[in-house]
Amino acid sequence: MSRPTIAERSHPMTEPAAHPITPDSTIGVVGIGYVGLPIAVAFAEAGLTVIGVDASPRRLEEIAAGHSPIEDISDERIAACLAAGLSVATPESGRLAECSAIIVCVPTPVTPSKDPDLSPVLSAAETIAATLRPGQLLVLQSTTFPGTTNGPFREVIERTGLTAARDFHLAYAPERINPGDPASASANTPRIVGGSTPAATERAVALFARVNAAVVAVATPEHAEMAKLIENTFRNVNIAIVNEVAMLCERMGMDVWEIIDAAATKPFGFMRFTPGPGVGGHCIPVDPYYLAWRARQFDVTSRFIEIAADVNIAMPRHVVELAAEALNERGRALRGARVGVVGVAFKPNVADARNTPASDIIAGLRARGAEVAYHDPHVPTFRDPQGVISASVPIEQLVAASDLLIVVTPHAAIDFDDFYRRAGIVVDTVNSSKGRACRERSVLRIGAGWVTPAAA
């Protein structure tokens, strides 16, 4: 059996000569969540007509009422965009037929066996196909493996009888949104674009140049897809390295945080990464598996990438072991202990709990017989892997009622000075105790062991 190829459909000889490139003025955005809403707002603020399409009735109602479902976009910006040309619609509305360009920003999760799950992308393709008309530009933005745009996504679209290059333009332009960092969605973040033909690339570049100061064109969609995976796999691998070093430092009685601070004084050849309870969000825990899965289709075993992902996945289990160690210090067992988890969002100052390491930490604690409660100022309710739904409790109540506290997400809204003054015993997974007053052997810090008051 021959190996698959990702280049055979790129840049075919035919171009849609009957549909010359003209400035796109009406933009459809399929999926208006953490990734799609910022790009929809950006185009609306640039003076274009934007139609946001989403399968969630609640999200559509929220946006239509002028309320933003994400922290990075204010209600004021949503209201201004609604007045200037932004509207929302269901996938069944047929309004994508009004658009000259359509951008797909839907999730790309993995299956329980860590294989790519393209069902949201293919569902979006079917929605587009239902009203596809000649001359449209289709841009996939969801993070995925090389070959998706020119492969499964294109195949669904072409079931209409219309063909890329001849009847419509097709391109890939990966998102670079960093939740909790509004600047990441600004015009100053360069955009990568790769079209299935030179004309498609040219048109997509012209579109994104309306909202990005720099647009980088690459040869094919596959090049752009691979560039996105490299970005996030690079982060995952480097986080895994410092997580392994952190566990080694615990055994050696050393402080990994001080060591990283020292290494970071080198002005070249080193990039600062820090250990933690694991990785979360919609990209870092997922993207390496997309790359490793695709590599296997070309008879390449990406051991380095897979091992790094495995290291980070194992960190929640290590946190549970630290919790047991901390309680053992006080002559207590984890079974029957009341454990408070501080922060369940996947990163500070956001409400996004997708793939959060807190989920596996909570599951691991409950599997060991602990009673678990949590506080998160941004996540009012949280569902654990067993489907148990819990409500956030006030931080003062959590501290007072817990035998052990675990800091997973250091939100700025939490007064950690007061927290450490009140807390009895803490497992600190993110170095939130640094520089704060704490009692002798009251804080067990990941990568550093028990922290003395002077060292904190």
For residue 93, the model assigns a pLDDT of: 96
Cβ-based neighbours of 199, under 8 Å, separated by 6 or more:
15, 16, 21, 165, 169
Architecture category of domain 287-450 in CATH: 3-Layer(aba) Sandwich (3.40)
In this prediction, residue 440 carries a pLDDT of 79
**Residue 225 in tokens:** 């897809």
CA 355/CA 141 separation, integer angstroms = 20
Backbone angles phi, psi at 137, to 5 degrees: -105, 125
CA distance 264 to 257: 11
Q: Is-contact 337 403, C-beta < 8 A?
A: yes
Q: Which helix (H) or strand (E) holds 155?
A: helix 154-158
In sequence order, what are the residues at sequence separation of 6 or more whose Cβ sits closer than 8 angstroms to the Cβ of residue 98?
26, 28, 51
Residue 103, strand partner residues: 29, 139
Would you call 249 a catalytic residue per the annotation? no
Architecture of the 26-219 domain: 3-Layer(aba) Sandwich (3.40)
> Which residues partner with 374 through β-bridges?
341
Task: Please tell me the predicted confidence (pLDDT) of residue 181.
Answer: 65
Domain ranges of the chain: 26-219, 287-450
CA atoms within 13 A on the CB side of 184: 11
Distance between CA 364 and CA 321 in Å, rounded?
9
Q: How far apart are CA 93 and CA 385, in angstroms?
A: 35
Tokens coding 340: 């408070």
From residue 181, alpha-carbon distances to 194, 279, 348, 420 in Å are 25, 17, 10, 27
Catalytic residue among 105, 249, 283, 438: 283
pLDDT tens for the chain, 456 residues: list them. Answer: 345 544 434 444 345 443 455 689 999 999 999 899 999 999 999 999 999 999 999 999 999 999 999 888 999 999 999 999 999 999 999 999 999 999 999 999 999 888 999 999 999 999 999 999 999 999 999 999 999 999 999 999 999 999 999 999 999 999 987 776 666 667 788 999 999 999 999 999 999 999 999 999 999 999 999 999 999 999 999 999 999 999 999 999 999 999 999 999 999 999 999 999 999 988 888 999 999 999 999 999 888 999 999 999 999 999 999 999 999 989 999 999 999 999 999 999 999 999 999 999 999 999 999 999 999 999 999 998 888 899 999 999 999 999 999 999 999 999 999 999 999 999 999 999 998 888 878 999 999 999 876 555
